[in-house]
Chains A and B, each alone.
Chain A
Amino acid sequence: MSPKPSANFDAVTPVILSSPFSILANNSAIPDFGRIAYPYRKAIYIEEIRWTLYATPATSQVAATQLGSQVLTKLQFGNKYLMRDPVPIWLLGTTMDLKQEETQDVTVNLRTSYSHYRWRLPEPLYLEAGEVLGSWFTRGPELATVFPIGTINGYVEYVGRTVSPQTPRPKTIPVPYAAPFVTTLGRVYQQSNEEHLFNPFGVDLRVQRFNGRLLQTSADSAQTASRRLGLTVPPSAPTSGMGLLMNDSWGGKMVNNLTGPGDIFDCLRAGWLVDTVMPPKGVYEIRAWNMPVDQQLHVAMVGVREERA
């Protein structure tokens, strides 16, 4: 079949832009910007960002691992950033199927782990013609000794659609924003500060949800590093008595009694849908009590604010 001349050549088409990257522990990586730029002079909407991560640890004692807990990312276009500080990839979207976040393929190699994550943006992100959403990845040294994974390879994929030229250029655009709070291993009590879950902008931030995960770093009976999404306070907790308190900038209670992360961040989706508005310069504070030495709490606030195009 030979196509007829398109009746609407400027019609909206779906698009995926992707680039590979590799990252060592205590290092950073930047994907190929040429591959994640839309090649034609057309504006696009990015609706979803996906990450495919895989690694072959040096030792077979590291089982299927949530690689998204190890790799942090930061996204920026022009002078507008989606994260001020790098955020662990597994904190950006809710989980839809934990199995897909920690898989191994025994047909290939008993040690290769695969993790898939996706972040459905709170609002589609408008990129002007020629504009590129830059990605940057980093891995800290802290977890590298606990998880001897070596190089993590991956792909970042932007999923979206083109914008018809007939569509007027918006005057303001919603820009997603994510802010993390990750505890330090080995400390019994920790508290977030005003540079963690905060709104750095001069405009309201519509907070879509909090995402929370718990990383367990100790070896279990099978000598594999396991990860737990969330544990509740005693007596139901198998190994942890961790409890969280949360309040806002004015001391307003968000979590009034010590509550386990598995209750706050729904164990099924690793998220807490809040859909609220945070005023400019607002802060949410988390206090984590009774932290086991082998568990690390990861929390992110995901929202969206309006920026002038």
Chain B
Amino acid sequence: MPIRLPYGPNPLDPRQPRPAWVDPRTAKTKIPMYYEPPPASPIHLSGSVVIASGANATVPASALKNPMGQDMEILEIKFELSLPAFVLSAYNASFAGATIACELTMGSLKLTNGSIPVFLFGRAENLSAESKYDRATETVYAAFTWRLPRPLFVPAGAAVVPNFTHTGMTPDAINVRIGYSARTIFVKPRRIYVPWVAKYSSKSFNPISAADTDASIELDLVNPNPETLYLQRFVGRTVSVNPSYVGKTEGPVAFSSQYLSARITDSYGRPIVRDFTPFYGIFSPLTRSWEMDNGAVLDPESYYLVNLRKDAMTMSAFYASAYAQAFISMVGWRELEAS
């Protein structure tokens, strides 16, 4: 007897009870499993584009569609940025994650609230991989990954289309590659889970000036959708730029750990971060994130408000022309009925 899969609910859906699996080595009649179509097949799609400073660009949608004309589920989205000339030193290439922002759409569904810097999607799983330098080619690389909170169903013929923006924080063109780690599926899900990412970028602080403040507005960290947003994480990152020096860095330590602090409330004034807390106290520097895939939700059509406070900082005059900026994103998902 061939091993039959119980079609109906998607057998790969982790929310569905799994059928008992029969080890073919113990089956009385040994029949290869490939007599039945596989329930899913892994597939990786990618495309790249070179973006000049201050420009917009996109990757051809044809490169990001399932070439087999089947439905698929995207599990992870990866970004790789490279600068083919030695313009950023090896230890600060992750700064490029603030320079390239990405807007993701699938048909009429928006996955992001405008353009999101690519280092704000996922948690930092390996900080050293975010900043690599190939001495042979004098190229710096920054890699970021975003494991989606739930697999994203992409119907046959559709694609998640990225639209990239180079925010101009560096004059150099950046080579951007986006990749989707996905699987082809043969059973349509009954419900689909759509990720949602919104962000707040602070103004540029002058680190050595007097104390300063900034605040997000209602349109930054917002859930504009009519569905409840299930929160996966907040991501918080900082960058500093010193135009007089190759001093573009991600995560300046003193600024993030001591001089910059934040408090957060929601639309109803409920405290999310009750008192001003160091930026790296909220967003652990180990992962640059606050993981909260724990049942926390954001109501439909509501938002979070962030207040930032930068204390006066003593720096050497060498850094007098530097400035620093904070970025916060909110990553979650909402649930829709499949039509």
Contact = CB atoms under 8 A, between A and B. Distances in A.
Given A8-B299, A100-B286, A157-B282, A16 B277 contact: yes
Given A14-B272, A155-B278, A161-B292, A107 B254 contact: yes
A159 B283 CA distance: 10
Contacts, number: 140
A156 to B, nearest CB: 9
A150 to B, nearest CB: 16
A52 B281 contact: yes
Interface in B283-317: 284-287, 290, 292, 294-297, 299-303, 313-316
B282 A16 contact: yes
Contacts of B268: 3, 6, 9
Interface in B118-169: 127
Interface range on chain B (Cβ under 8 Å from partner): 35 or more
Interface stretch (A109-117, A174-182, A224-232): A109-117
B64 to A, nearest CB: 32
A157 to B, nearest CB: 5
Nearest to B233: A14
B219 A1 contact: yes
Nearest to B297: A11
Nearest to A100: B285
Nearest to A7: B299
A15 interface: yes
Among B253, B277, B294, B319, the most chain A Cβ lie within 10 Å of the Cβ of B253
A97 B299 contact: no
A45 B127 CA distance: 29
Contact of A14 (B275, B296, B316): B296
Interface residues of A, number: 44
Given A52-B257, A116-B280, A161-B295, A96 B319 contact: no
Nearest to B222: A1
Contacts of B316: 107
Contacts of B54: none
Nearest to B219: A1
B271 A39 contact: yes
Contacts of A9: 268
Interface in A1-25: 1, 3-4, 6-9, 11-19
A137 interface: no
Contacts of B207: 107
B213 interface: no
Given A1-B303, A11-B299, 7 more contacts: A7-B228, A8-B299, A18-B281, A52-B280, A105-B252, A105-B253, A109-B254
Interface of B: 127, 207, 218-219, 222, 224, 228, 231, 234, 240, 247, 252-255, 257-258, 264, 266-268, 270-275, 277-278, 280-282, 284-287, 290, 292, 294-297, 299-303, 313-316, 319, 322
Interface of A: 1, 3-4, 6-9, 11-19, 35, 38-40, 45, 47, 50, 52, 54, 96-97, 99-100, 103-105, 107-109, 112, 114, 116, 118, 124, 155, 157, 159, 161
List the 7 shortest-distance A-B pairs measured between CB atoms, nearest first.
Answer: A105-B254, A3-B267, A18-B277, A105-B253, A108-B254, A96-B286, A16-B273
